[in-house]
Chain A
C-alpha cells in the first residue's frame, strides 16, 4: 500500500512542473502568441530559484525569485515579438538557447552546493485519510499551486469577460483591434504570465524535485510542456490530463527499468512521449471542437495600421 502511495506521490511531483509551464503557455497561445522559449524561461527560473534560496537560506524567497526571473526573461521575448514584430518562432528559439547558456553561466558557483527544499505541507487530520490523505493533502506547496492555477485559468478563460477578450485576440487580432481592444497590451500581460509560470515550473525543479543546481536540469521539460498545449487542443483540463499521463508513464517506466524488464531502456524512455501523444490525439478527435479552440492568429505578428 505504501509503495503505491509513494509511486503516486512521485507521479504528482513529475507532472507538476509540466502542468505549470503548459498552463502558462496555454494562456500565451490563447492570446495568439507562440513562445517557443518555455525551456529557456524554465531553466532561468530554476537557476534563479536555487540561487536565491541558497543565498538567503529561504526556499520561499527562492520561489519568488524563480517566478520573477521567468516573467522578466519573457519580457525580452515580448519586446522583440510584440513591439518590434519579430518572427515569433525564431525569437522563441533564441530565447531558449539564451536561457540555457545564461543559466549555465549564472549557476557556475552553485554546482554541487546543497540547496534549500520547500517543505511539504501537511494538512492536519485530512492527511490521516488512508491513501488519498497523503496524496492530496501532504504534498509540496507548488503541487497545490498547480492545481489551483489550472482551475483559475479555466475559470478565467471561459467565465470572465477579460478571458473572452483574450481568446478573441487569439482568434483574430485585426477584428479585436477594430473593436478597440488593446491587442499588444493584452499580449504583453499574457506572455509575462506564461513566463512567470515557466519560471515557477523551473523553481519546482530546483527547490522541490531535486533541490540542487545542475546545468540543463530542465532536460527538455519545456518542450514537452509546449507539445502538451498543442495536443491538448488549448484546453486546460486536457493539459492537466496530459501532464499526469506523461508523469505516470515516466515513473512507470523508471520502475520497469529498475525491475530489469528485458526491453531496451531507450524504448522504455520513449514510452511517456508516445503514450501522451496517443491519448491526447484520441481525446481531441472531435474536429469541430478542435477548430473552435485553436487560436487562429497563433504566431502571426500584429502591426496595427495607423
Chain B
C-alpha cells in the first residue's frame, strides 16, 4: 500500500480510559496512527468511537491513559490546543452556528485575522477544487444537512491540520461526491497528512483505509488491514456476531394495488430566500410497495417532506391524498388520523423532544391517534399504558439504553432512530413516510430498520423513503425516483435502476433522459 507504515507514528494512544458514572465508555484504548495513512475507526453506536475522538480533540478529559503526539507526551485539554497541535475535526453532530453565514462559521475556527471576504474567497476556491461546491454567503440555518457537512469539511481543511478526524463524512454525499471526497483524502494522504476515518460503510473503509481499529463496548477488539477483510468479516468484528442481510421479498400484485399515497401536481414557493421551490411533483405510492426518493442534499427533499407530512399545509387540498381522500389542507395530526405516519430527518428536536423521556415522546406523537389507549376519558394520561407501549417498542426494535425509560437525548443516535421508527411502525400505519431513516446509524441497527420498513410494505402499507444513501435505497426500494432542484423524476423500477443512472439524475440530467445522457457521456 502507499501508506508509510514504517514512518514514525504521528499519534499514539496508550490505555486511554473514560468513565461516565458507572459506564466505562472507553476502556484502555490503544491506537497508533502513522504519518500519511488513512486509519479507520470502526464500531457500532455506543462502542465508544465518539468518546475516544472527543478525548483526542480535547473536548473530553480522559480519566487515565496517555497520548503521544510526534513521540512526545501531550495533554490535550481543549479543542483550541488540539487545533494548535494540528488536529482537525469534522463533527457528526455539526458544530455550526445557524444564524451566521458559511463564511462566518469558517472564520470562527481560523485564528488568523484575515477579513471575512478573503476567507469566503478562499473557502469558495477550496470547496470547488475539492468538488464540494459551497456558497460562503449563504446562511447555515437555510442549508441542508449535506451542505452543512461541506462547510465542516472545508472549515477543517482550511486549518491545514496534520491529522484530520472525519466522523461519518460520506453519509450525506452522492456517490459522485463521495468519490470526490475520496480523491481529496487520497490527495491529503499523498501530502503526508494522516486521517482518522470513522464510518459504518464497510465498502468505503475497504476502499480507502490503510488500517482499521475496531471497537466494541468501549474496548479495542482488533486491528486489521481492511483491504484483506471482507465486508462481512469486518461487520462481524464490529457487532460480535453476523449482521443479518436485508431480505426484500418480491412485491406481488402491486401493479393493480390501489395507491394509498398520491401526490398530484404539488408545488410550493420557496419558504426562505435560500430554500428550493417544489415544482409540479407527481407520485403514487401503492399498497405493498416501497418507493425511494434519491437526491443530493438540499434539492427540495426537506420541503417535500414538510408538504407531505403536513408541517406545511398546501393551498390545493388535492395535491396530497391519503387513502383516496384529500389531505393537503390537513395538519400532521389530521393526516395521522387518516392512517399515515411520518419520521422526519432530525432525530433530536424534530423527531423527539431531547429532554423528555421515551414514553413521553411516544405520547407526544400518538396522543391523538391512540387517544383512547393513552388518555383517559377525564383527560388524564394513562402513564402505565404509555410506559408499557414504550417498552414494547424498545423490545421490538432492540433499542439499547442505560435506564428503563431514559431521556431521548441520552440515547445514541442509532438507538433513538430505532425508537422513533418503531414508534410509528407500532401503529401499523397504512402510509409511512420516512426522511433519512438510517443517517448516522450503524450497520446492525440500519439493517433492522430497513427490514422493518420492507415488512411494513409487504403487509399492505405504502412506504415512501427519502434518503441520500443510495445503497440503502437499492436495498429496500421497489422503484427509485430522484429529486433534483425541486423536481421529481419518474420512479425507475429497481430492475432498471443502476447507480450510474440514478447518479446522473441526481446530478441534474433531465428526468426521464438518463439513458440519453449516458450515451452522450
Contact = CB atoms under 8 A, between A and B. Distances in A.
Interface in A274-306: 288, 291-294, 296, 305-306
B202 interface: no
A178 B108 contact: no
Interface string A23-63: 00000000000000000000000000000000000000000
A296 B108 contact: no
Interface in A148-183: 161, 164-165, 167-168, 171-172, 174-182
Contact of A306 (B60, B105, B139): B60
Contacts of B108: 164-165, 168, 176, 179, 181
Most buried by B among A175, A288, A294: A175
Contacts of B116: 164
B80 A168 contact: no
B78 interface: yes
A167 B116 CA distance: 15
Contact of B91 (A168, A178, A294): A178
Contacts of B82: 180
Given A180-B80, A305-B60, A164 B100 contact: yes
B61 A306 contact: yes
B272 A175 contact: no
B90 to A, nearest CB: 11
Nearest to A175: B95
B113 interface: yes
Interface residues of B, number: 29
B109 to A, nearest CB: 5
Contacts of A165: 108
Contacts of B113: 161
A164 B107 contact: yes
A229 B107 CA distance: 27
Contact of B99 (A161, A182, A292, A305): A292
A180 B107 contact: no
Q: Majority SS of interface residues in chain B?
A: loop
A179 B60 contact: no
B99 A171 contact: yes
B100 A178 contact: no
Contacts of A182: 80
Contact of A177 (B59, B107, B139): B59
Contacts of B91: 178
* Interface size of A as a range: 20 to 34
Given A161-B113, A180-B58, A306-B60, A172 B97 contact: yes
Q: Majority SS of interface residues in chain A?
A: helix
Given A177-B59, A180-B82, A292-B139, A167 B99 contact: yes
B107 A161 contact: yes
Contacts of B81: 180
A172 B98 contact: yes
Contact of B79 (A179, A293, A305): A179
Nearest to B115: A161
B406 interface: no
Contacts of B97: 167-168, 171-172, 175-176
Interface string B309-346: 00000000000000000000000000000000000000
A296 B98 contact: yes
Nearest to A287: B272
Contacts of B404: none
A29 to B, nearest CB: 13
A292 B116 CA distance: 18
A174 B113 CA distance: 23
A305 B61 CA distance: 9
A167 B100 contact: yes
A292 B82 CA distance: 31
B100 A288 contact: no
A168 B100 contact: yes
Given A177-B59, A180-B80, A288 B99 contact: no
B407 interface: no
Interface in B82-114: 82-83, 91, 94-100, 104-105, 107-109, 113
Contacts of A181: 80, 108
Most buried by A among B81, B94, B108, B116: B108
A274 B80 CA distance: 48
Interface in B454-493: none
B98 A288 contact: no
Nearest to B94: A175
Contacts of A168: 97, 100, 104-105, 108
Contacts of A171: 97-100
A175 B100 CA distance: 12
A306 to B, nearest CB: 5
A180 B83 contact: yes
A250 to B, nearest CB: 33
B99 A178 contact: no
A174 to B, nearest CB: 7
A291 B107 contact: no
A210 B78 CA distance: 51
Contact of A180 (B60, B79, B94, B100): B79
A170 to B, nearest CB: 8
Contacts of A293: 99
Nearest to B139: A292
B95 A164 contact: no
A168 B380 CA distance: 42
A168 B61 CA distance: 24
Nearest to A161: B113
Interface in B130-154: 139, 141
B86 to A, nearest CB: 13
A2 B94 CA distance: 61
Nearest to A181: B108
A293 B116 CA distance: 19
Nearest to B20: A305
A112 B141 CA distance: 56
Nearest to A305: B60
A300 B58 CA distance: 23
B82 to A, nearest CB: 7
Interface of A: 161, 164-165, 167-168, 171-172, 174-182, 288, 291-294, 296, 305-306
Given A167-B97, A175-B94, 9 more contacts: A164-B100, A164-B104, A171-B97, A171-B98, A179-B95, A180-B58, A180-B80, A292-B139, A296-B98
Those 8 A-B pairs whose CB atoms lie nearest each other, nearest first: A180-B80, A180-B79, A178-B95, A175-B95, A171-B97, A171-B99, A306-B61, A168-B97
Interface of B: 58-61, 78-83, 91, 94-100, 104-105, 107-109, 113, 116, 139, 141, 272-273
